[in-house]
Amino acid sequence: MNICVIGTGYVGLVSGVCFSDIGNKVTCVDIDENKISNLKKGIIPIYEPGLEELVLKNIKENRLSFTTQLDKALDEADVVLIAVGTPPKENGEADLRFVEAVATSIGKNLNGYKVIVTKSTVPVGTGKWIKGIIEKEAGHSNFDVASNPEFLREGSAIYDTMNMERAVIGVESDKAKEVLTELHKPFNTNIVVADIETAEMIKYAANAFLATKISFINEIANICELVGADVTKVAEGMGYDNRIGKAFLAAGIGYGGSCFPKDTNALINIAANVGYNLRIVKDVENVNAMQRFRVYDKVKEAFNGELEGKKLAVLGLAFKPNTDDMRAAPSIDVIPKLLEDGADVIAYDPVAMANAKREIANLNTVNSYEEAVQGADAVIVLTDWKEFKDLDLADLKKKLKQPVLIDGRNMFDLNQMADLGYYYASIGRRTVNKL
Ligand SMILES: NC(=O)C1=CN([C@@H]2O[C@H](COP(=O)(O)OP(=O)(O)OC[C@H]3O[C@@H](n4cnc5c(N)ncnc54)[C@H](O)[C@@H]3O)[C@@H](O)[C@H]2O)C=CC1
Ligand SMILES: O=C(O)[C@H]1O[C@H](OP(=O)(O)OP(=O)(O)OC[C@H]2O[C@@H](n3ccc(=O)[nH]c3=O)[C@H](O)[C@@H]2O)[C@H](O)[C@@H](O)[C@@H]1O
């Protein structure tokens, strides 16, 4: 099939390259000329494992190309995927201005039947709204609109797409259903066919549920600390129950990223707009907003409230490992608090430092973990990068001025930390204190 993907962010780029890799001819369109000129040369704007190789391979094999010219890309397309951003407005609603601009351009340039699919996460009702815009601009209805929400995770985006657990297809015609079912056949996955509104709702419900699991386990973690239980064991004990499942029960400093914070908020607004008070998700957000500061509290506790002049090595800045994405990363809130208290913060992240410097004022970064921890009064782990998990903890201890490790991601074993003589505070577990 010929596919035109509009928007080359995570979703556009990853779905574009994956659809081309399974044999389709894909043209990716963006209004950002610099991005497109780089992509043509194989320069990828984001850090995502495996993406560069796959882009280069598919460009070379003539299945993948990049352009800023929507009209030409549309001409040949059977399927058009809209994958532009839907950032939050100040009131939390999804901002649809990029989607609106794209729908208008599609309408102006539409010639011949196409299935126009929204991959971006959009409020319920957007599919119908897009249809109206295109009809008005095109002056005809020889097209179908559809919804095909995206479920990939940053950091494992290629794997998630190639091994998708389901494809959700929201359609209002048999023709669109046929085209999109055919398109997803090579993924050999569960296909959920629904009406467009239901497909749009599935995306928000899925993200809100995952966010709920995280805030739930974080609240359990907070109780664990008060009653002397270990949340990692609690999660393990819960997770073997298939009705609960093991995933997304890692307690820590809460969720960040471009989607959970935005989509929970958007869902609350979708509900409010139809007169419904979405209490559970509101609490999920409240818990999440507080959770990231628990790591700050634990740093304060380790130094009896006095951080002035303390050298603190922060390991990890991105909102999760394997990405340079800083959107809504806990580090954005935690580091300024430490700086306000007069601490000397030295941060290291394997890939997110350049982006972090744009987000966090006066952020001092160094190019290796060794430089960050040398002579530090404490190490604070904010992102669970594997390279931190693999640290030689005995060696780390030698580099520190004081063996204090505050772990927002529960990366290390309590007994090992106790044996090594660390003051080790984590989330939802007892504090190992040998100072
Ligand atoms: N980032 C993620 O992991 C996931 C994102 N989503 C959803 O997918 C959507 C896109 O997200 P990202 O890829 O992160 O977005 P992004 O914000 O990183 O990228 C959007 C791209 O669209 C381009 N664009 C904007 N207006 C345009 C226009 N008129 N014509 C052509 N290109 C245009 C921008 O230049 C930018 O390159 C959002 O709705 C998001 O909620 C869904 C699942 C996962
Ligand atoms: O709509 C989206 O954009 C995407 O949002 C999330 O993907 P992503 O934000 O890339 O990352 P996750 O792996 O879900 O992690 C989100 C946040 O939750 C945190 N998290 C995750 C799991 C967990 O057990 N505990 C926990 O604190 C992570 O550290 C991170 O800050 C969803 O997992 C994707 O299915 C969805 O497509």
Pocket of ligand 1 (CB under 6 A): 6-12, 29-32, 35, 83-86, 98, 101-102, 120-121, 150, 152, 154, 258-259
Ligand nearest to the CA of 120: 1
Quick check: 434 pLDDT over 60? no
Ligand 2 neighbour 10 (Cβ under 6 A): no
Ligand nearest to the CA of 166: 2
Ligand 2, residues 120, 154, 202, 253: which to mutate, most atoms within 8 A of Cβ?
A: 154
Cα angle value 190/151/67 (rounded, 5°): 110
The reply to whether ligand 2 has any atom less than 6 angstroms from the CB of 320 is yes
Establish whether residue 404 lines the binding site of ligand 2, counting it when its CB lies within 6 angstroms of any ligand atom: no
Question: For residue 172, is pLDDT > 80?
Answer: yes
The domain limits of the chain are 2-194, 203-290, 292-425
- For ligand 2, atom 22, the nearest C-alpha belongs to 248
> How many A from CA of 149 to the centre of ligand 2?
16
Sheet containing 378-381: order of strands: 344-348, 311-315, 378-381, 404-407, 423-425
Distance 395 CA to ligand 1 centre (A): 42
**183-211 CB burial, b ≥16 within 10 A, e <16:** bbeebeeeeeeeebbebbbbbbeebbebb
Cα 269 to chain center, whole Å? 20
Residue nearest to atom 29 of ligand 2 (CA): 320
Distance 260 CA to ligand 2 centre (A): 7
Our answer on whether the CB atom of 166 is closer than 6 Å to any ligand 2 atom is: no
Percent of the chain residues topping a pLDDT of 70: 100
Query: What pLDDT does 347 receive?
Result: 98
Kindly give the distance from the C-alpha atom of residue 119 to the centroid of ligand 1, in angstroms, as a whole number. 9
Query: Does pTM top 0.80 for this prediction?
Result: yes
Phi-psi group of 304: left, alpha or beta (phi > 0 → left; psi -120 to 50 → alpha; rest → beta): left
pLDDT in tens, 64-106: 999 999 999 999 999 999 999 999 999 988 999 999 999 999 9
**Is the Cβ atom of 152 under 6 angstroms away from ligand 2?**
yes
Reported CATH class of domain 2-194 = alpha beta
Pocket mutation for ligand 2, best pick of 166, 265, 294, 320 (most atoms within 8 Å of C-beta): 320
Q: Residue 92 has what pLDDT?
A: 85
What DSSP string describes 34-100?
A: HHHHHHHTT--SS--TTHHHHHHHHHHTTSEEEES-HHHHHHH-SEEEE-----B-TTS-B--HHHH
pLDDT tens-digit profile of 297-353?
999 999 999 999 999 999 999 999 999 999 999 999 999 999 999 999 999 999 999
Residue 96 burial (10 A CB sphere; 0-12, 13-18, 19+): buried
Which ligand is closest to the CA of 411, given by its number?
Answer: 2
330: Cβ contacts below 8 Å, ≥ 6 apart = 253, 254, 256, 292, 295, 319, 382, 408
Ligand 2 neighbourhood includes 248 CB (under 6 angstroms): yes
Residue 32 CA, ligand 1 centroid: distance in Å: 12
CATH fold match for the domains 203-290 and 292-425: no
Q: How far is the CA of 99 from the centre of ligand 1 (A)?
A: 10
Which has the closest alpha carbon to 69: 39, 30, 108?
Answer: 30
| Domain 203-290 class in CATH | mainly alpha
pLDDT of 103-121, one tens digit each? 999 999 998 999 999 999 9
Establish whether residue 153 lines the binding site of ligand 2, counting it when its CB lies within 6 angstroms of any ligand atom.
yes
Supply φ then ψ for residue 3, to 5 degrees.
Answer: -125, 135
Residue 166's H or E segment, with its range, is strand 166-170
Q: Is 154 in the pocket of ligand 2 (CB under 6 A)?
A: yes
Q: Enter the CATH code of domain 292-425.
A: 3.40.50.720
- Residue 435 scores a pLDDT above 90: no
> Does the beta carbon of 107 sit less than 6 angstroms from any atom of ligand 2?
no
Average pLDDT over residues 26-42: 96
How far, in Å, from the CA of 199 to the mean position of ligand 2? 20
Q: What is the pLDDT of residues 220-269, one digit of tens each?
A: 999 999 999 999 999 999 999 999 999 999 999 999 999 999 999 999 99
Q: Please, are residues 302 and 404 in contact by the beta-carbon 8 Å criterion?
A: yes
Sign of CA dihedral 391, 394, 400, 406: positive
Average pLDDT over residues 116-143: 97
The residue contributing the CA closest to ligand 1 atom 5 is: 11
Give catalytic residues, as residue numbers: 259
